[in-house]
Amino acid sequence: MSSKFSRRELLRKTSVSLLGGSFLLASAEEQALADAIETGHTRLPERRDPETPMPNGKIKDLQISRLILGGNLIGGWAHARDLLYVSRLFKAYNTPERIMETFRIAENHGINTVLVTPGEIPFVTRYNREFGGHLQSMVQIWPDEKDPFGEIDKAFDLGAETMYIQGAAADRLVKGGKMDLLAELVERIQLTGCPGGVGGHALTVVEECERLGVAKDYYVKTFHPDQYWSAHPVEKREEFEVDAARHAEHDKFHDNIFDLYPDRTMAFMKSVKKPWVAFKTMAAGAVHPREGFPFAFDNGADFVAAGMFDFQVQEDVGYALKALAGAKARERSWMA
């Protein structure tokens, strides 16, 4: 009896492990990946209903899956600490064809919303038009000083379902005392008929928006535990340092932490009566989703936006479903 495998059989047995997976090649998604490796062409998995429905919540009239597909992996915006090649690797791996495949896998597992920039909306449009998808776009807006409403109008024209002011942009507006402009930006989003939100890394953004009534619909706020090796000491952290200067000293910020004071975030958000989308819940890869997802949902987040490669979606959805089922004793009521 021959013990030799054909090339196709070998690929089907090994392709997932080559990509860092730890499960047997069995699903339609994994089959499509094996075919893509062998032929060099992407074949999208068939549409199917998820085995376990993903719970949804609402932001105004939008039904949004509790787990949202993050867009940094699509755009190649990697928080890589001091690993210089990671963004380039992301872009090389996530070809347009693989992005389409990732969208299909996400939808097949109950995810109905993807967080993108205006420039990435065409990926969602293509997927919905060419492959029969139904993904919604949650679009992050970075206002230009010379044309602050331009990105909002562009995103609306491209079909955004909802928009929010991107976290680093909102940080800078609040730090610079430009709350009036931030309020005008949110109002402009709402004038399009889309729900309008405010993002932020600094808790001060949420605190000031609540004090002045700026954010009407929802927040997109970083939230993750800070007990991992590259998190610098809490006494060395400074508000608004995320997305600011990077330091060579290990005890200072170097693209390594995204919620500087998670305990403060947890405490303040208990009083906030608007939906909360938590992002960077895995601290850009430093926290495992089996820890990051329960941390977010147990401590008040209504949604989690998580960047996922195609081969991570199935596993991460499992962790999210388990975290949602276990979030029975959370103190903050579900706001969406």
Least confident of 85-99, 136-150, 184-198, 282-296: 85-99
**Helix/strand/coil (H/E/C) assignment for every residue in 186-219:** HHHHHHCCCCEEEEECCHHHHHHHHHHCCCCCEE
Question: What's the half-sphere exposure (Cβ side, CA atoms, 13 Å) at 110?
Answer: 18
Q: Note the pLDDT tens digit of each residue in 73-100.
A: 787 778 888 888 888 888 899 999 999 9
Q: What is the pTM of this model?
A: 0.86
User: What is the secondary structure of 118-151 as a DSSP string?
Assistant: GGGHHHHHHHHHHH---PEEEEEE---SSSTTHH
What domains appear along the chain, each with residue ranges and CATH number? 1-43 (no CATH), 55-326 (3.20.20.100)
pLDDT of residue 16: 40
The kind and range of the H/E element at 16 are helix 7-18
Q: Under a CB-based contact definition with an 8 Å cutoff, are residues 94 and 74 in contact?
A: yes
Strand-pair partners of 221: 200, 278
> Which residue's structure tokens are 């953004």?
205
Burial 235-267 (b: 16+ CB within 10 A, else e): eebeebbbbeeeeeeeebbbbbbbbbbbeebbe
Mean pLDDT of the chain: 89
What is the rounded CA–CA span in Å between residue 58 and residue 215?
16
Of 28-32, 139-143, 176-180, 273-277, which range is least confident? 28-32
Give CA–CA dist 32/12, Å, rounded. Answer: 10
Contact present, 333 and 308 (Cβ < 8 Å): no
Q: Is residue 334 within 8 Å of residue 277, measured between CB atoms?
A: no
Residue 158 has pLDDT above 60, yes or no: yes
CA–CA separation, 115 and 61 (whole Å):
17
Beta strand pairing call for 113-116 and 196-200: unpaired
